């Protein structure tokens, strides 16, 4: 673990030199990470160039979906490992043409437990909570939600159908994700994406002053 | 891991002597395990007596919900551990009055990776895939879906709103979950629960013949 922390700091230095804003996107399986990343990249086009590293136990379905949308992407297949680590990210990152990238988005393995312990050298850890998962997930997976810099309530278009209690979910997020900026959105309908994209543009501006 | 496998076999022998049907219920966070277990127990009342062991990193929300429904339940809080193991289950099981239980349901930690490696001594491993998670999860988490004896497509009431491709999901399940019986249901509306409950009654009848 100490080895991972050292490699993560090396990644952090490397990314800083490249003036990249780096996001580590974590969530349960099926919270909508890939659709969210695709829409973020597509809607930033013309302003910021996005590159993506995708982690999965198996398949390159997510990478294929992003590539089809014209987004530069590298797939990491972890086999049975339940998280990405700093070394995997280090090796994958250099397979992208990073001089043509402003924002590097890392899609972690779908898992609310293991990835919490692994610093990848990111600037921001972004945790997704979909409205179909229930309001209590921050309370039940505290290490992940506590360590997040950004918490996104996703699939807002399904909130009514799922009987999602928004006030309770936000209260739980504020209780556990102390440090996190919170956004509510639907990548599918575009609802709420504007505020998120403005936040990314602002954060990336800080990096470019390096 | 070898130690866990030995303890799991001991659990299996103990459960067999007690004529229990034991289910290990696994899924992503938020796939509907607790609601499904509550409805299974409630609808079996008068036919079979259900006891529950619940695993979570933190909180006893799920146990409290089940207890409110009159179901005997023991909570295991794992801290940062991403799965239950045979020893935890062994210690928790004896806190229930097992002579008053016919079906022991173990709700594992919400995680599609780590619990795959840990035999708990169960008769049936039951994996849930909710319609809001997407059709590709069996392909992306093969060890868990491959090892399942039963695969449940849950939240069928949200399938239309989520744009769930049922045929694709079933094809993916049949490809990875070779050994699994497949049921489609909504614990919330009761749709599809009848076939599942009949299956449980039949399987428990086998146990009671010792």
Picking from B115, B111, B92, B124, the residue whose alpha carbon sits closest to that of residue B21 is: B124
Q: How many CB pairs under 8 A join A and B?
A: 107
Q: Is B162 helix (H, G, I), strand (E, B) or coil?
A: helix
pLDDT at B207: 85
**Does residue A142 sit at the B interface (CB-CB below 8 Å)?**
yes
Candidates B130, B139, B155; nearest CB to A58? B139
Picking from B191, B132, B153, the residue whose alpha carbon sits closest to that of residue A158 is: B132
With an 8 Å Cβ cutoff, are A136 and B112 in contact?
no
pLDDT at A207 over 90: no
Give A-chain residues touching B133 at CB under 8 angstroms. 28-30
ipTM of the predicted structure? 0.91
With an 8 Å Cβ cutoff, are B114 and A117 in contact?
no
Residue A210 within any structural domain of the chain: no
- Please give, rounded to a whole number of angstroms, the shortest distance from the CA of A170 to a CA of chain B: 16
Residue B176 within any structural domain of the chain: yes
With an 8 Å Cβ cutoff, are A29 and B28 in contact?
yes
Phi and psi (nearest 5°) for A103? -125, 120
First to last CA, chain A: 28
The CA distance from B40 to B187, in Å, is: 8
With an 8 Å Cβ cutoff, are A136 and B61 in contact?
yes
Quote the strand ranges of A49-154, DSSP E: 50-56, 73-77, 103-107, 124-130, 150-154
Candidates B28, B113, B130; nearest CB to A57? B113
Q: Which residue of B has its CA nearest to A138?
A: B58
**Does residue A16 sit at the B interface (CB-CB below 8 Å)?**
no
pLDDT at A209 over 80: no
Residue B141 within any structural domain of the chain: yes
Residue B210 within any structural domain of the chain: no
Domain residue limits at B94:
2-204
**Does residue B138 sit at the A interface (CB-CB below 8 Å)?**
no
pLDDT at B209: 60
Strand partners, B130: B154
At A20-70, the pLDDT tens digits run: 999 999 999 999 999 999 999 999 999 999 999 999 999 999 999 999 999
pLDDT at A208 over 80: no
Residue A209 within any structural domain of the chain: no
With an 8 Å Cβ cutoff, are A113 and B111 in contact?
yes
Picking from B118, B102, B115, B119, the residue whose alpha carbon sits closest to that of residue B52 is: B102
> What CATH number is given to the structural domain containing A143?
3.40.50.300
Picking from A154, A203, A168, the residue whose alpha carbon sits closest to that of residue A27 is: A154
3-state helix, strand, coil split of chain B in percent (to 5) is 45, 20, 35
The CA distance from A116 to A127, in Å, is: 10
The CA distance from B147 to B137, in Å, is: 14
Interfacial B residues in 151-190 facing A (CB < 8 Å): 155, 158, 161-162
pLDDT at B21: 98
Structure letter (DSSP) for residue B57 = S
Residue A99 within any structural domain of the chain: yes
Which of left, alpha, beta for A60 (phi over 0: left; psi -120 to 50: alpha)? alpha
Candidates A29, A112, A132; nearest CB to B141? A29
How confident is the prediction for chain A on average, in pLDDT?
97
Q: What is the mean pLDDT of each run of 10 residues along chain B (210 residues)?
A: 96 97 98 98 98 97 96 97 98 98 98 97 98 97 98 98 98 96 98 98 84
Q: Where do runs of H (alpha helix) occur along B18-60? A: 33-44
User: How many domains, chain B?
Assistant: 1
């Amino acid at each position: 673990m100490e080895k991972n922390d050292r490699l993560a700091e090396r990644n952090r230095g490397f990314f800083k030199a490249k003036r990249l804003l780096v996001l580590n996107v974590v969530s349960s399986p099926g919270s909508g990470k890939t659709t969210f990343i695709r829409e973020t990249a597509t809607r930033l086009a013309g302003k910021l160039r996005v590159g993506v590293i995708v982690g999965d136990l198996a398949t390159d379905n997510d990478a294929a979906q992003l590539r089809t949308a014209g987004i530069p992407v590298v797939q990491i297949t972890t086999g049975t490992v339940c998280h990405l680590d700093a070394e995997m990210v280090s090796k994958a990152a250099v397979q992208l043409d990073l001089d043509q990238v402003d924002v590097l988005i890392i899609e972690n393995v779908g898992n609310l437990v293991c990835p919490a312990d692994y610093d990848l050298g990111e600037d921001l850890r972004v945790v997704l909570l979909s409205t179909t998962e229930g309001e209590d997930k921050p309370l039940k997976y505290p290490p992940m939600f506590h360590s997040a810099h950004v918490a996104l309530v996703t699939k807002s278009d399904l909130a009514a159908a799922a009987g999602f209690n928004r006030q309770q979910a936000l209260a739980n997020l504020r209780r556990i994700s102390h440090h996190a900026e919170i956004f509510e959105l639907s990548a599918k309908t575009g609802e709420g994406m504007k505020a998120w994209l403005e936040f990314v543009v602002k954060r990336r501006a800080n990096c470019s002053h390096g």
